[in-house]
Structure 1
Amino acid sequence: MKLKVLSLLAFLAAGVSSSFAAGELSIGTEGAYPPWSMADAAGNVTGFDADVGAALCAKLDRKCRFVVQAFDGLIPALKAKRFDVIISGMSITEERKKEINFSIGYAELANMFVAPKGSDLAGIKDIDTLLKSLDGKKVGVQAGTTHAHFLEKRVPGADLKTYDTLDQMQIDLATGRIDTAFADLSALQDFLAKPDGQNFQLVDVKIQSTYDSSLGEGIGVGIAQDNTALKAEIDKALCELVADGSIGKASEKWFKTDISLPCK
């Protein structure tokens, strides 16, 4: 991890309290999941999550400060008050709602598998056949994600391999250590655009969150359960950002399609 980020995390871990009241919104994000969240060597964060965070901070009249944290450590860090909110492509699920609160869902992208061209998985067209075919297969997922929970629930016979980062999963996929990988469409498109992904293809089965509750209720901002005032402010701001097209514009920029969800 970048030195700048490490120093910041060490400082936060010492017990710094929420900075929101002081005119700043600190945002926890993964920083290694393109095009959602990418951190460079200087600790600067870009991607869809960064654009959503910047738009949200502008609406709330707060200065943004991004804190890079491994995805499976985001919820514990939020609960420890190391930052104010999570904006990291995090799906709203019942399991996560037991630990933290969420804003309204503001975006959703289909989930898919990627497999080697010509493999027995590559030509499958329906979800039931696909899930049955995963039994005994080595399937890669990022640790702590809805993709991992979905496979644990739906395909207990799969040999599930979990990874801290998307890059680690892609390396094992490219070198044949796993048979397939399950992630959101944007992450897999990123892999397919690389030289290592040239001999792979998407399995033509899109799995929406409506298929199974373990995949969540769309992407939301993670908020501490006791911070109801901040949730109200964020919900209002997100509704305005969806309505004025800001979320849609950001998603068109990063995903080439509008993945924004209408405000409920």
Structure 2
Amino acid sequence: MKLSSAVAGFAMALAMAIAAPVGAQEKIVVGAYPANPPWEYKSETGTFEGYEIDVATEVAKRLNRPVEFQDMGFQALFAATSSGRIDFAISSISVTNERLKNQSFTQPYYDSDGTVVGREGTSIASLEDLEGKVIGVVAGTTGEAWAKENKDKLGIADITSYNAQQDLLLDVQNGRIDGGAGELAGFQYAMTKTPGLKVLVRIPTGERFAMMSRKDHPAVGEANDAISAMKKDGTLAAIHKKWFGVDPDQGTSTVTDLPLPKAE
């Protein structure tokens, strides 16, 4: 290479370096199932909104990295994190020991229970009343796992699987199935858009939601530290109040700093 060419090349590289924004880093790619309000959904303009969208956006901000959200089906999130297609997945994903064997999670930021919802006026008032009934679930969720685990014990006649929560609730509303099993807060929010439904049974499952990534992703620790800071300075509590209208309960994972979850 001629000297003049080398000098010109160096000058161009230097100019590009100077033009680059200070502190610019690689973006964080977050997969989300946007049919899951209030956790994540798309507005009329196509932008992502929701409780966990706010959490992930704030985490990226504190890491000084831009964030990109990708629209994915719930079950696809697990393969996408494992393959490295996305850095994190959100969608009211519960931290479970089984999932921790193959995935990593930040500390949780929301405590939830399960529920069975049904039509107003139904005779179902307890878990025992599910005998002989057809129950709907969203595929790949802890609601599906609970229903399958308790099918024989409770005498559930059949379990119908759905890809979208709204399709499940419409079938409950129209009487095609007797009820739907899933996560309490998500159903409560969705029922404000689907009249004629009510919570039939609350199931104390002890679920806790967190950001999920591939096993031992290097960004998990940084994201976890950001979530700790958000709990300590009240940011997570403010996000909770924004979406649910009330302050989080003391002692819950929304306000309590917790260690990284580990498989037992």
For normalisation by structure 2, the TM-score amounts to 0.80
For residues 64 and 212 of structure 2, the distance between their equivalents in structure 1, rounded to whole angstroms, comes to 19
Q: Quickly say closer, same or farther: Cα 1:163–1:261, change in 2 above 3 A.
A: farther
Matched, 1:25 2:24: no
Superposed CA offset, 1:155-210 (max 9, x none)? 3332111111111112211111110112222322233323x42x22222x432333
Question: What SS class does the counterpart of residue 78 from structure 2 fall into?
Answer: helix
Q: CA deviation at 1:88?
A: 1.7
Counterpart in 1 of 2:82? 79
Question: Gapped runs of 5+ residues in structure 2?
Answer: 1-23, 259-264
Aligned residue pair count:
227
2:86 is aligned with what amino acid? F
Counterpart in 2 of 1:153? 149
What's the Cα RMSD here? 1.9
8 Å CA contact 2:106–2:211 kept in 1: the answer is: yes
For residues 177 and 164 of structure 2, the distance between their equivalents in structure 1, rounded to whole angstroms, comes to 15
For residues 232 and 148 of structure 2, the distance between their equivalents in structure 1, rounded to whole angstroms, comes to 36
The structure carrying a bigger strand percent of its residues is 2
Match of 1:248 among 237, 241, 245: 237
Q: Which has the larger radius of gyration?
A: 2
Counterpart in 2 of 1:223? 213
Question: Gapped runs of 5+ residues in structure 1?
Answer: 1-20, 125-129, 211-215
Q: CA deviation at 1:141?
A: 1.2
Overall identity of the aligned pairs, in %: 26
Question: What SS class does the counterpart of residue 137 from structure 2 fall into?
Answer: strand
For residues 105 and 137 of structure 1, the distance between their equivalents in structure 2, rounded to whole angstroms, comes to 34
Q: Quickly say closer, same or farther: Cα 1:234–1:154, change in 2 above 3 A.
A: same
For residues 179 and 223 of structure 2, the distance between their equivalents in structure 1, rounded to whole angstroms, comes to 37
For residues 191 and 48 of structure 1, the distance between their equivalents in structure 2, rounded to whole angstroms, comes to 14
For residues 118 and 41 of structure 1, the distance between their equivalents in structure 2, rounded to whole angstroms, comes to 34
Q: CA deviation at 1:224?
A: 1.0
8 Å CA contact 2:33–2:74 kept in 1: the answer is: yes
Counterpart in 2 of 1:181? 180
Counterpart in 1 of 2:117? 114
Moved over 4 A (4+): none
Q: Quickly say closer, same or farther: Cα 1:42–1:80, change in 2 above 3 A.
A: farther
